[in-house]
């Protein structure tokens, strides 16, 4: 059950991040991957500064979405340089 929850939250966070950043989704698997990586990046980054965006499911979604936006930004910067 935990794996399903992580995948659902990752998908929501990735979708939310892609909607905020560039207005188009990456598909189901792309959103899940970006959301999961964004969750890891967001918690690591905010942990470095001692910032918490809340507890529970909503805090995890916000943190993951912000991390997903950062990842999407970096992917766009890297892909433009090629």
- Position 25 scores a pLDDT of 62
Look at residue 1 in the predicted model and tell me its pLDDT.
57
List, as one string, the DSSP characters of 3-58.
HHHHHHHHHHHHHHHHHHHTS---HHHHHHHHHHHHHHHHHHHHHHHT----SHHH
Q: pTM, whole model, 2 decimals?
A: 0.81
Q: Give residue 82's pLDDT.
A: 63
> What digits encode the pLDDT tens for the residues 8-26?
888 888 888 888 877 666 7
pLDDT of res. 23: 60
Q: Which stretches of the chain drop beneath a pLDDT of 70?
A: 1, 23-25, 82
């Amino acid at each position: 059950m935990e794996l399903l929850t992580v995948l659902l939250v990752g998908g929501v966070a990735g979708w939310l991040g892609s909607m905020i950043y560039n207005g188009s989704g990456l598909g189901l698997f792309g959103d899940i991957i970006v959301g999961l990586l964004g969750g890891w990046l967001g918690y690591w980054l905010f942990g470095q500064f001692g910032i918490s965006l809340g507890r529970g499911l909503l805090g995890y979604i916000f943190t993951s979405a912000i991390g997903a936006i950062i990842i999407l930004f970096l992917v766009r910067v890297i892909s433009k340089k090629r």
